[in-house]
Structure 1
Amino acid sequence: MKKILLLCLAIFVSFAVNLDDKQKQIYQSIAPSDEMDNYKENIKDTYIATSSLVLSVKDYKKQYFVGEVFSLELSAKTTENTEFDFELSFNKNKELIFLNPEAKWQKNGDEYNIKLYFEAQNSNAKLESIEVALSRNKEVFQRSSLLLEPLNFKRVNADKNYSQIVANELSVKRTRTSYFDDKNLMMIIELWGENTNLNDFHLKDETLIKQRIDNVRGDFNSSIAFYSAIFAPNKKSLDFSYFNLNTQKLETLSIAVELSADESVSTQSDLNPKNNDLVFYKQLGLWIVAGLCLVFFVFKRSYIALAIAILVLTLSFFIDTDTQTGVVKSGANAKILPTANSTYFRTSKQDEKVEVLAKRQNYIKVLFEDGTIGWIDEKDLQEN
C-alpha cells in the first residue's frame, strides 16, 4: 500500500513539473476544497476585550431587618463597542434571596446601571461580592468582581400574629367574607404595601384551615395582593401585625368576620343539593296532605279523600330531587367568585366529577367531591 502511494505521489510531482506556465496558472487559481479542512485544525475565533470593565455601587445601608426588601444600585462601565450580554452572579448564601433576576440593564453612555433587590430570610444571610461578566455568542470574554462591605441583618421582635411583612406601610383596602363550603368561611383581603414583598404574607394561626397569597401586582416600592384564608364560622376576627420601618415597631390590624351582604346563610341553601331544604319541605308538605286525606278516608270512608291522597302521594315522588352533574376538565381553575379578577383557590389535577349548583354569565358554580365550592369557566365543564 505504501509503495502504491509513493508511486502516485511521484507521478503527481512529475505531472506538476511538466506543466507549462499557462497550465500552472490555471492550477494555482483553483479554490481550496472543503476537504482540506480534514487536514487542518479548527481555529476558534475568540473575541478579545479591548477595554476594561469597572464595577461600582452607590452608597447603601449596612444593616437591615430580616424580611426587609433592600436594593443595591450597581453600575458597570465599559467602552466595548461590540454587541454583548451581561451575566450576573453573586457570592452569597441561600439565606439571602435575589428578588428580581429578570431586571434589565439601562445604558447611559459607556455606563450601564441596574437596581438589584434582595431579602434576608434570617440573620445568617450573607452577600460578599457581585460578579459581572460580558459574553458574546454565549462565550464570556471579560469579567469583573466587586467586593461589598459586610451586611448585618436583625430579627424582628415579632408577636404571635406577625404576618412576616416588613414594610414602610401596610394597609387593607377591601375585604369580603363568604361561605367556602357548607362548613367553613373564606375571607379575602386586598392588601396594599409600600417597600415590601407581599408574597411573604403568612400567618401562624392554627385556626386557619388554609391560606394563600395571590395576584401580586406592582413592584417592591408599591404593590397590591389578595390574601385569602379559610376558617370555621366561629372565628370572630382575623388579626395580624407587621413591622413598620418608619416607626420601627409592630403595627396591628384587626378585621371583623362578617358575611358579605350577598353571601348570607339564606343564599346558601344550594350548597349541597342532596339536602336542599326547599325540595325537602315541598315533599314534606305533600306527604302531610296525603296523610290527612288518608285519615279522613279511614274515619269518613270518603273515596274522594282516598283518591286525593293517592294523587298527592304520587305527585310528591315527581318532584325533581336529582342534581345536575358534570366533569371539570383537568387543569381547570376554580375561582372564589364569578368575576374576572377573582382569586383562584384550586386547580384540578385530573378530571373531577362535580355537582352543578348555579350559573352566572359564563361562570358555573360547582360542588366538588371534597365539599368545596367554586366558580369555573363554562368551557371547562363537560356533561357527565
Structure 2
Amino acid sequence: MIKVLFLTLFLITSLFAQKVLYVSYDTVPKRVIKGEIFTATLKTLSTLKDFNDVEYTFSDHPGLKILDETPIREERGKFFYDTFHMQVTGSHARLPDIEASIVASDEYNATKVPGEELNVITLNPKKNFSNIIANDLQLQEYKTTSYDNHHNIVVFVATAKNCDIKAMHFNNVYKQGMESVTESYDDSKITYFVVIDKRLEYFTFSYFNLLKNNYDQISIPIIVDDDSVTTQSDLKPRDQSHDTIKMYIALAISILGFIIILFKQKYIYLILIIIPLGYTLYLSIPAKEVCIKKGSSIYLLPVENGTVFETTPKEYHLTKEGSVENFTKVKLQNQKIGWVKNEDTCSH
C-alpha cells in the first residue's frame, strides 16, 4: 500500500512539473554521404532565468555515431544554439531522438525532440580511392625509398579538414599502415606509408571533396631516396658496394697530383692530393656495428608506436647506418633497413 501511494505521488509531481525548455533541430543537412562527418544544431530556449546548464541524452540513432559529449554552444539573445558533430556509419541513418534536461536546483520535466531519417548517399569510387571523405586533403611532405628488390616504400604526411582521417586505406598495395595521427574535426594530420611495386612512377589516389561534391586526385611522384622532403629522412643507407673502385680512383688522382707537382713545381696542385686522400680515408672507415637485444622490435620508421616488421629472435650484431633521437638505424641480415629504439641496444 505504501509503495502504491509513493508511486502515485511521484506521477502527480511529474505531471505538474513545469516545462521550462523548448528544443528543436535548427540546422541539419539535406543529404549526407556514408562516412561523412557533419554537424547538427539544436535551438534551445529556457524560460528559467537561473540554471546551471542544459544536458542532452541521445537515443535511437542507427547508422549514426555521435562524436561530441558536449556541444559547441553559441548564445544569441535568449536562445542557445548547440552544435554536435556526427558521423554516418551506415547506408541508412537516422538523427537521434534527444532528451534535453535543465540542470537547476529544482526538478523539471525533460523535453523530448524526435529524430528523423537522413538521406544517405553511398559512394561507388574507383579502385584508387583512399577511403577519405573531407572538405579538403593536402599533401604536406613525402619520401620514397627502396623497400626490397621488387617494392618501394612511400611515406607521406597529409592534413585534412572535416575528416575521419584514421579511415585512410588503399587497395592494391603490398603493405600499408599509419605511423602517427593527430585527430580533430576541423584539422587532422596523418603520417602514412604504402609499399608499392617498383615499376610505378607515381602513386596516385583520390578522396571525395565535400565542398566540390566530387573526387580530387593526389599524385606522388616516385623519386627514390630524395632526402629533402621529410623529417623521417635517410631511410636508405649509404651504398658501399662501389667504395673500393672509388678509393682506387681517388688514389689515382692523388698520384697524378703528385706527378704534376714534381714537374710544375706549383704547390697549388696539392689540392689534387689532399682532397682525394681525405675522401679515401673517409671511405676506408669501417661501418659501425650495434648490438641489438633478443626480442627487440625492428620498426619500419623511427616513430613511437610505429609499424614493427620484425622481432629479433636472438641477440644481433648489425651494421649501424645512422641515428635520430631515440632510434638507431640498422641494416638487417636480409639487407633491409629498419629502426630500433636505443633502449633495445646492448652496451657490449
Aligning the two structures, in what range does the TM-score lie when normalised by the shorter sequence? 0.5 to 0.7
Q: Does 1:90 align with 2:59?
A: yes
Q: Does 1:365 align with 2:335?
A: no
Contact conserved, 2:95 with 2:118, CA < 8 A, in 1?
yes
Residue matched to 1:216: 182
Residue number among 94, 110, 115 corresponding to 1:143 in the alignment: 110
Counterpart of 1:54, as a letter, is: Y
TM-score, structure 1 as length reference:
0.58
Q: Report the Cα distance in structure 2 between the residues aligned to 1:156 and 1:169, rounded to whole angstroms.
A: 17
Query: What are the within-5 Å matches in structure 2 for residues 198-237 of structure 1?
Result: 198-205=165-172, 207-212=173-178, 214-217=180-183, 219-237=184-202
Secondary structure of the residue aligned to 1:199 is helix
Query: Relative contact order (C-alpha < 8 Å, sep 6+): which is higher?
Result: 2
Q: Report the Cα distance in structure 1 between the residues aligned to 2:311 and 2:70, rounded to whole angstroms.
A: 36
Q: Report the Cα distance in structure 2 between the residues aligned to 1:111 and 1:238, rounded to whole angstroms.
A: 50
Counterpart of 2:226, as a letter, is: A
Query: What are the within-5 Å matches in structure 2 for residues 183-202 of structure 1?
Result: 184-202=151-169
Query: What are the within-5 Å matches in structure 2 for residues 255-266 of structure 1?
Result: 255-262=220-227
Secondary structure of the residue aligned to 1:336 is coil
Q: Which moved more, 1:100-109 or 1:141-150?
A: 100-109
Offset, 1:147: 1.4
Q: Report the Cα distance in structure 1 between the residues aligned to 2:210 and 2:191, rounded to whole angstroms.
A: 22
Residue matched to 1:166: 133
Contact conserved, 2:205 with 2:218, CA < 8 A, in 1?
yes
Offset, 1:259: 1.2
Contact conserved, 2:27 with 2:42, CA < 8 A, in 1?
no
The aligned length equals 285
Residue matched to 1:375: 339
Larger radius of gyration: 1
Residue 220 to residue 265, structure 1, CA distance change in 2 (3 Å)? closer
| Runs of 5+ consecutive residues of structure 1 not aligned to the other structure | 1-47, 270-275, 283-318
Residue 90 to residue 348, structure 1, CA distance change in 2 (3 Å)? farther
1:9-42 per-position Cα deviation (integer Å, ceiling 9, x unaligned): xxxxxxxxxxxxxxxxxxxxxxxxxxxxxxxxxx
Offset, 1:152: 0.8
Q: Report the Cα distance in structure 1 between the residues aligned to 2:104 and 2:96, rounded to whole angstroms.
A: 27
Secondary structure of the residue aligned to 2:132 is strand
1:334-356 per-position Cα deviation (integer Å, ceiling 9, x unaligned): 4624xxxx575326999875546
Percent of pairs with identical residues: 18
1:38-66 per-position Cα deviation (integer Å, ceiling 9, x unaligned): xxxxxxxxxx9776333223222221122
Counterpart of 2:39, as a letter, is: S
Contact conserved, 1:335 with 1:376, CA < 8 A, in 2?
no
| Runs of 5+ consecutive residues of structure 2 not aligned to the other structure | 1-13, 228-232, 246-284
Q: Report the Cα distance in structure 2 between the residues aligned to 1:348 and 1:136, rounded to whole angstroms.
A: 56
Residue 261 to residue 184, structure 1, CA distance change in 2 (3 Å)? same
Residue 152 to residue 375, structure 1, CA distance change in 2 (3 Å)? same
Residue matched to 1:304: none
Q: Report the Cα distance in structure 1 between the residues aligned to 2:311 and 2:101, rounded to whole angstroms.
A: 45
Residue matched to 2:91: 123
Q: Report the Cα distance in structure 1 between the residues aligned to 2:332 and 2:54, rounded to whole angstroms.
A: 50
Contact conserved, 2:177 with 2:307, CA < 8 A, in 1?
no
Counterpart of 1:59, as a letter, is: T
Q: CA RMSD in A?
A: 4.4
Q: Report the Cα distance in structure 2 between the residues aligned to 1:170 and 1:53, rounded to whole angstroms.
A: 40
Contact conserved, 1:68 with 1:196, CA < 8 A, in 2?
yes
Contact conserved, 1:210 with 1:229, CA < 8 A, in 2?
yes
Offset, 1:194: 3.2
Q: Report the Cα distance in structure 1 between the residues aligned to 2:226 and 2:59, rounded to whole angstroms.
A: 52
Contact conserved, 1:329 with 1:348, CA < 8 A, in 2?
no
Q: Report the Cα distance in structure 1 between the residues aligned to 2:212 and 2:200, rounded to whole angstroms.
A: 30
Q: Which has the higher helix share?
A: 1
Counterpart of 1:55, as a letter, is: V
Secondary structure of the residue aligned to 1:360 is strand
Residue 89 to residue 333, structure 1, CA distance change in 2 (3 Å)? farther
Query: What are the within-5 Å matches in structure 2 for residues 1-384 of structure 1?
Result: 52-78=20-46, 79=48, 81=50, 83=52, 86=55, 88-93=57-62, 95-98=63-66, 100-104=67-71, 106=73, 108=75, 112-133=80-101, 143-180=110-147, 184-205=151-172, 207-212=173-178, 214-217=180-183, 219-262=184-227, 267-269=237-239, 323-327=289-293, 334=299, 336-337=301-302, 344-346=305-307, 355=318, 357-362=320-325, 363-366=327-330, 373-383=337-347
Offset, 1:136: 8.6
Q: Report the Cα distance in structure 2 between the residues aligned to 1:366 and 1:210, rounded to whole angstroms.
A: 21
Contact conserved, 2:300 with 2:308, CA < 8 A, in 1?
no
Offset, 1:361: 5.0
Residue 369 to residue 197, structure 1, CA distance change in 2 (3 Å)? farther
Counterpart of 1:260, as a letter, is: D
Counterpart of 1:124, as a letter, is: H
Contact conserved, 1:106 with 1:113, CA < 8 A, in 2?
yes
TM-score, structure 2 as length reference:
0.63
Offset, 1:382: 4.2
Offset, 1:365: 1.6
